[in-house]
Structure 1
Amino acid sequence: MESSSTRRMNTRRKLFEAAVTLIAEQGFSSTTVDEIAERAGVAKGTVYYNFASKTVLFEELLRHGIELLTDSLQQAADATAARGGSNVDALDAMIRAGLEFISAYPALTQLYVAELWRTNRAWQSTLMQVRQQAIAVIETVLRKAISAGELSEEIDIPLTASALFGMVLVAALDWQSFQPERSVDEVHSALSRLLQGRVGGDSPRG
């Protein structure tokens, strides 16, 4: 028998999925709570039971999505370390994890990128906080790579971490929008060569 906490979690997941799809399709302002409830297959009151308002729902949606992405990046880094891979290998695995996440949640990623540059939103501070959590995971691996002598000490860690994060986001969105016939392997291979050749300072892997 399904517990009340499991039921609530499933309901919130349905609301997240409905909201992100609708908002990606028609924008935040044009999306109503009624539409979110209908798309999720729940009563309107259920939305307000789980979230105080549409704004709170959207803020939590963005937080939830980027936290999932951050977890994916961390798991990729941890799995590489557990296999005895290098820190540059871990960065490469994180690129792959990021691409796979964006492939699975393209609408969420489109929303995140769109909202990142809008400074008048109520959720802007939340967005900056969760973005920094994702960046921090990359920064940690970069520091380890420098300490291990895998990367140059001259690397600007915060800027490089932001650049790697942005590279994955932009490349993945371009892939999804304009080159959907490409496989994740092809896109990952292209970004991997950039990482190995430009960041690592080594010859690109064959």
Structure 2
Amino acid sequence: MGRDATRERLFTAAIELIAERGFTGTAVDQIAERAGVAKGTVYYNFGSKAGLFDALLDYGIGRLAGSLRTAAAGLDPSAALDAVVRAELLFLAEHESFARLLIAETWRRGGDWQHAALMIRERVVGVVADVLRASVDAGLLRADLDVGTAASAVFGMVLVVGLDWQALQPARPLAEVEATLLDLLRGRLAGSVPS
């Protein structure tokens, strides 16, 4: 097994275990066992459990940001927000354990929480902010919209609704969840701009 495949297995095992047991409740031995590798492999690849967690956040946040950016690429501003909301919901459906990890651990990890929250804000919320800014510039959203706060609210709302959908309403169709979110977003973000 190559190094990339080993790291992928370690990421998957760590995400699942930390989502199940929390960061402090997860031992390196457990991560290695679930990934099917020797304990030393974790240290060889990441240096420590904290190093693995930081790399895990970087990896997952990068994948989420890439999914959102790809979804919005080349679309006009009126369609880009819809595409970003749908991409976030699809990412959450595919990577529910990582989403739970973001909520449960990112803001709880001692002094490192600010670094993790900043990574999310810069890389993921930044994509949403770019989409909203383009919509403001196109006259689709109110000119006085606080884009940074609105982007955080959109990301957070979709994250929580997506987890609710996956945990409590998994049989509910994606299209219904997406439509409800978009109705809420359009009404609040557009303000006095006619539809």
- TM-score relative to the length of structure 1: 0.87
Separation in 1, partners of 2:92, 2:109: 23
Partner AA of 1:136 in structure 2: G
Aligned to 1:187: 177
Aligned to 1:129: 118
Separation in 2, partners of 1:149, 1:70: 25
Separation in 2, partners of 1:87, 1:136: 15
Q: Against the structure 1 CA distance between its residues 125 and 197, is the aligned structure 2 distance closer, same or farther, given a 3 Å change threshold?
A: closer
Aligned to 1:39: 34
Separation in 2, partners of 1:22, 1:99: 22
**Residue 25 of structure 1: how far off its partner (Å):** 1.2
Aligned to 1:88: 78
Gaps of 5+ in 2: none
Separation in 2, partners of 1:155, 1:140: 13
Q: Against the structure 1 CA distance between its residues 149 and 194, is the aligned structure 2 distance closer, same or farther, given a 3 Å change threshold?
A: same
Partner AA of 1:30 in structure 2: G
**Residue 125 of structure 1: how far off its partner (Å):** 3.4
Separation in 2, partners of 1:111, 1:32: 16
Q: Against the structure 1 CA distance between its residues 34 and 116, is the aligned structure 2 distance closer, same or farther, given a 3 Å change threshold?
A: closer
> 1:197, 1:203 within 8 Å by CA — same for their partners in 2?
no
> 1:14, 1:40 within 8 Å by CA — same for their partners in 2?
yes
**1:146 aligned to which of 132, 136, 141:** 136
Separation in 2, partners of 1:185, 1:203: 24
> 1:77, 1:93 within 8 Å by CA — same for their partners in 2?
yes
Separation in 2, partners of 1:180, 1:196: 25
**Residue 144 of structure 1: how far off its partner (Å):** 1.3
**1:172 aligned to which of 134, 137, 162:** 162
> 1:175, 1:187 within 8 Å by CA — same for their partners in 2?
yes
> 1:73, 1:97 within 8 Å by CA — same for their partners in 2?
yes
Separation in 2, partners of 1:200, 1:10: 45
**Residue 116 of structure 1: how far off its partner (Å):** 3.3
Separation in 1, partners of 2:24, 2:186: 43
**Residue 117 of structure 1: how far off its partner (Å):** 2.8
**Residue 56 of structure 1: how far off its partner (Å):** 0.8
> 1:139, 1:161 within 8 Å by CA — same for their partners in 2?
yes
Q: How many residues align?
A: 193
Separation in 2, partners of 1:181, 1:58: 32
Instruction: State the SS of the aligned residue for 1:76.
Output: helix
Partner AA of 1:72 in structure 2: S
> 1:59, 1:126 within 8 Å by CA — same for their partners in 2?
no
Gaps of 5+ in 1: none
**Residue 200 of structure 1: how far off its partner (Å):** 3.0
Separation in 1, partners of 2:126, 2:12: 27
Q: CA RMSD in A?
A: 1.8
> 1:77, 1:94 within 8 Å by CA — same for their partners in 2?
yes
**Residue 147 of structure 1: how far off its partner (Å):** 1.2
Separation in 2, partners of 1:139, 1:77: 12
Separation in 2, partners of 1:62, 1:87: 29
Separation in 1, partners of 2:44, 2:56: 15
